[in-house]
Amino acid sequence: MPYNPLTAQEKHIIEDKDTEPAGSGEYDNFFVDGTFICKRCNAPLFSSKSKFEAGCGWPAFDENYPNAVKHLPDPDGQRTEIQCANCGGHLGHVFMGEKFTETNTRHCVNSLSLKFVKKGNQLPKTIREK
């Protein structure tokens, strides 16, 4: 089954590992109860309960669902990239030691990498390519 279709801008973020401009994403100042899923493959990534206001210009989460996110060294040698563990889509970066929350972790995520499913609505089936 093929992944969800993406716009050119979404492909640039998710496949080419770009970053949307700070403050431009629809989920930066968005606080509704539900689940954030991968826009490319529908895999559940973050609970809205883990979202917090970091003031960085991107949605911030202090933890992901178990085994949902991969951490990889960023080519810049300074940061750690995060990807969807199911499809490898670029999500953003993770930062440790900033003391924003008890977990001491900030997943800084591009809104264009995410879809939101409001609590009470059924999650779409995760797409797994072979």
Amino acid in the structure at residue 20: E
How many angstroms separate the CA atoms of 100 and 121, rounded? 30
Active site residue 84: no
Tell the burial category of 63 from Cβ atoms under 10 Å away from its Cβ (0-12, 13-18, 19+).
Answer: middle
**In the 8-state DSSP scheme, what is residue 79?**
S
How many angstroms separate the CA atoms of 105 and 80, rounded? 12
φ, ψ for residue 26, nearest 5 deg: -70, -20
Cite the active site residues. Answer: 108
